[in-house]
Amino acid sequence: MGLHHPRMMLSRITDDAERAKRMGFGGKLRIHPKQVNIVINAFPPTEAEIAWAQRVIAADKTSKGGAVKLDGRMIDRPVVL
């Protein structure tokens, strides 16, 4: 696990990302564009995560740039970005 050299075999990066997902990690750092889609495919968002993100965007639109409370959490620009 950890960062991989950009020239490392993509199959090894795929295996590593899948192992990290099974271990409970939510993502991985990448240092080369060829590695990005591998990680995106290994860590797809759940339907609940997509729904929450849509609610965050909707709350941000009504906030006029300020912080809002959503599900007991403070949502402001860094969360939205």
Residues 38 and 54 in one domain: no
Identify the pLDDT of residue 65.
Answer: 82
Residue 35 pLDDT greater than 80, yes or no: yes
1: in domain: no
Residue 3 pLDDT greater than 70, yes or no: no
CA 58, 46, 16, 41 torsion-angle sign:
negative
53: in domain: yes
Pick from 6, 58, 55: which is nearest to 34 by CA? 6
| Average pLDDT rounded to a whole number, residues 14-23 | 91
Residues 54 and 38 in one domain: no
71: in domain: yes
Confidence of residue 31 (pLDDT cuts 50, 70, 90): confident
| Average pLDDT rounded to a whole number, residues 38-58 | 93
Q: Classify strands 73-75 and 68-70 as parallel, antiparallel or unpaired.
A: antiparallel
| Domain that includes residue 34, residue range | 10-42
Confidence of residue 64 (pLDDT cuts 50, 70, 90): confident
Cα within 13 Å of Cα(14), Cβ side: 7
Identify the pLDDT of residue 6.
Answer: 58
Pick from 29, 26, 22: which is nearest to 13 by CA? 29
Residues 51 and 76 in one domain: yes
